[in-house]
A and B are shown apart, each in its own frame.
Chain A
Amino acid sequence: MTDTSVQGSADDERGTETDTGTGTHGRVDDDGRWLRIAAGVGALALAVSAAVALTNGLIPGFSATADEPIDRAEAWVQANVPNDRRILAEEAVAERLIDDGHPPAGVVSVDASDPADAAIPADAWQDWDYIVATDALLSLSEANAAVDAALTHSRVLAAFGTENGRVEVRRTERDGIADATVRAERATDARGRAGEQLAMNRRLDVSGAAEADLSAGRVDDRILLALGQKLATDSLTVADFPVIAGEEQGIRRQVLVTVVNGRYLTDDRELRNDTVAWFTDLPGPVAPENVAPAGEGVLITYAAEAPSDLLPTPDPSPTR
């Protein structure tokens, strides 16, 4: 601000000399400066208002900066939602998803002003797999029972932004949120029990944070089983279960292996390649989505959509 003020003053003086050449510079100079300041303040106020409007989602898609949460949510959907899934989104977001390549038949948008949309049966939500829940979509739930039910019977997979600018990617639970919640709690318990056992494995070395993730049931079933199997023949060091952006509250579906049989993967190219190959070639339900050398080792990433029931849960029945 100081620099601008000094510069402005010098410019004003030069301008005055050019424009008038009279002895009244000082007053004219002052008036002009105040007029410019007033105009600047006005422009700034307009810009701030526009920014507030944008971050409130009133003009979706207008500004990259204001749309950052939706941009990240859109990227998450593009990376993690298979094309044969049906996604509910507000109209502007739906168009973007289609532009990204999601089949139009797999994108559902609801228009509050369209009587046909208002008449959508309340149970229509059971045909929807994912929801991109923006503030605008949330407002639709008040008038549309299907949207309201979809939001009620869904859980957050990834979230971006805060407050009114928050965008959630949600997965519907067709059996209803009550049953899904019970299943999720049991699954967390099962992951926690399995994680604690894995942490006891003498062939596994984990950081304190990683061990906490294991015990808390925050580590994906597929990672637990793949590591358990690998530990039958090798010792491993797991540096971290890195969080994927947007999934801070979710299950860790990445694992960073840094040491195998006492050798750092950064120091042993052949061992690193063997490790990449072993995880890459895992077939069936524990097949990773991506395995690649990372800065400190090998990063194994699993798909967001996971098979269910890979870990045992307490079963009172004698047969299965």
Chain B
Amino acid sequence: MTRSRHALRTAGAVLLASGMGFALLGAGAATAAPAAPTDSDSGWARVAHLSPDTALVDVQLTALAGGQVIFELAGVGYGAVSEYQQLPAGTYVVSMVPNGAPEGTPPVISESIDVQADRPMTVAALGTNAELETRVYRDDLTLPAPGEARIRVVQASTTADSVDIRTRSGVAVAEGAAFASATDYANVPAGPVELQLSAGGRSSTATLTLPEATVHTLFVLDNADGGLTVTPVFDSAAVGAVPKGGVQTGGGGMRSDRPLVGEDAVVGMLSGAATLGDSARFGR
């Protein structure tokens, strides 16, 4: 089996961090030409590395009808998210196997997903390495109204039981968000947004600039100081087809012929999760 490794670059900027161990690692409005998937029988998936102490693991998406896509989370940063990959529509088994595990090692199967046209999704490996699991989140890349941006929260911190996040204007982005949960998307005014975060009696504020007509996921993560980090990830911008305007909609390397099995397995290409500002290492 031929696999290549792509170090996941996590470029971003700490826009504002204050008090109590919270930090906001920013993503912004960088735009890029989206991939041009037009196959109506294809869907999109990407993988997020949200396990603070996991260095090497492969996330596999195996089609029941035949074919497999392997996302190697090796040498990539905590909090990093891959590009969207175009996949043939169908039901896939979601599993993990330690990177470099002996041949024949049974994978950890967590669930299955339906890859559908117009229904992009994020597959996250999250939790501590000892309790590593995968979760699948449906991404809604519907663009917001003019002058607005849309955000949601995925609570992936292993140290906070629940997290509240509000905008300064009072929009509740997350209320009592439990581990591994995802909120619905909320529309907020585009531009600078001050977020008020609280968890377990700790609170903090952070500011993020949200360009107009963009969609973001805010990943709540652990940081090296025992606090929390919010990592915004671009889901979509206002261009193109599904994923609608996907700034990070890769698809490079994805083959559309079936079945994709064995030596034909495709390695997901991981790339920058945040795209605004100076380079910064995420996580630990």
Q: Which residues of A contact B (CB under 8 A)?
A: 193-194, 197-198, 200-203, 224-226, 228-229, 231-233, 274, 277-279, 281-286, 309-312, 314-315, 317-320
Can you list 25 residue pairs at the A/B interface with Cβ under 8 Å? A194-B64, A201-B66, A203-B66, A224-B64, A225-B93, A225-B109, A228-B62, A229-B62, A229-B107, A231-B62, A231-B66, A232-B60, A232-B68, A233-B262, A278-B104, A282-B106, A283-B109, A284-B109, A284-B110, A312-B91, A315-B138, A317-B138, A319-B138, A319-B152, A320-B136
Residues of B within 8 A of A202 (CB): 66, 259
Q: Which residue of B lies closest to A307 (CB)?
A: B111
Is B90 an interface position by the 8 A CB rule? yes
Contact A201 B138 (CB under 8 A): no
Is B164 an interface position by the 8 A CB rule? no
Contact A198 B65 (CB under 8 A): yes
Between A and B, how many residue pairs show CB distances below 8 Å?
Answer: 100
Contact B91 A274 (CB under 8 A): no
Complex Cα distance, B109 from A311, in Å, reads 12
From B110, B140, B261, B262, A285 is in contact (CB under 8 Å) with B110
Contact A193 B261 (CB under 8 A): no
Contact B106 A283 (CB under 8 A): yes
Shortest 4 CB-CB contacts between residues of A and residues of B: A318-B140, A197-B64, A312-B114, A197-B65
Is B182 an interface position by the 8 A CB rule? yes
Is B63 an interface position by the 8 A CB rule? yes
Contact B64 A228 (CB under 8 A): yes
Most buried by B among A194, A224, A226, A318: A318
Q: Which residues of B contact A (CB under 8 A)?
A: 60, 62-66, 68, 90-91, 93, 95, 104-114, 119, 136-140, 142, 152, 182-185, 259, 261-262, 265
Complex Cα distance, B265 from A75, in Å, reads 46
Q: Which residue of B lies closest to A286 (CB)?
A: B109
**A197 touching B91 in the complex, CB below 8 Å, given contacts A233-B262, A318-B140, A319-B137:** yes
Contact A310 B112 (CB under 8 A): yes
Starting from the known contacts A228-B91, A279-B106, A311-B112, 4 additional A-B residue pairs (CB-CB under 8 Å) come to: A228-B62, A283-B106, A310-B112, A318-B138
Residues of B within 8 A of A314 (CB): 114
Most buried by A among B113, B138, B183, B261: B261
B57 to chain A, nearest CB (A): 14
Q: Which residue of B lies closest to A283 (CB)?
A: B108
Complex Cα distance, B94 from A309, in Å, reads 13
Contact B65 A200 (CB under 8 A): yes
From A283, A285, A315, A318, B142 is in contact (CB under 8 Å) with A318
Complex Cα distance, B104 from A282, in Å, reads 11
Contact A229 B66 (CB under 8 A): no
Contact A229 B93 (CB under 8 A): yes
Q: Which residue of A lies closest to B118 (CB)?
A: A318
Q: Which residue of B lies closest to A193 (CB)?
A: B91
B62 to chain A, nearest CB (A): 5
Residues of A within 8 A of B93 (CB): 225, 228-229
From A194, A198, A226, A233, B109 is in contact (CB under 8 Å) with A226
Residues of A within 8 A of B110 (CB): 284-285
Q: Which residue of A lies closest to B183 (CB)?
A: A319
Residues of A within 8 A of B140 (CB): 318-319
Contact A200 B66 (CB under 8 A): yes
Q: Which residue of A lies closest to B111 (CB)?
A: A310
From B106, B113, B114, B185, A281 is in contact (CB under 8 Å) with B106
Most buried by A among B93, B111, B262: B93
Most buried by B among A198, A203, A229, A283: A229
Most buried by B among A231, A277, A282, A315: A231
Residues of A within 8 A of B114 (CB): 312, 314
Complex Cα distance, B62 from A198, in Å, reads 11
A197 to chain B, nearest CB (A): 4
Residues of A within 8 A of B106 (CB): 229, 278-279, 281-283
Residues of B within 8 A of A283 (CB): 106, 108-109
**A282 touching B68 in the complex, CB below 8 Å, given contacts A194-B91, A229-B95, A312-B114:** no
Complex Cα distance, B106 from A286, in Å, reads 11
**A320 touching B109 in the complex, CB below 8 Å, given contacts A197-B64, A201-B64, A312-B91:** no
A204 to chain B, nearest CB (A): 8
A57 to chain B, nearest CB (A): 44
Contact B66 A320 (CB under 8 A): no
Q: Which residue of B lies closest to A315 (CB)?
A: B138
Contact B182 A320 (CB under 8 A): yes
Residues of B within 8 A of A233 (CB): 261-262
Residues of A within 8 A of B182 (CB): 319-320
Residues of A within 8 A of B138 (CB): 315, 317-320
Residues of A within 8 A of B112 (CB): 194, 225, 228, 310-312
Q: Which residue of A lies closest to B94 (CB)?
A: A225
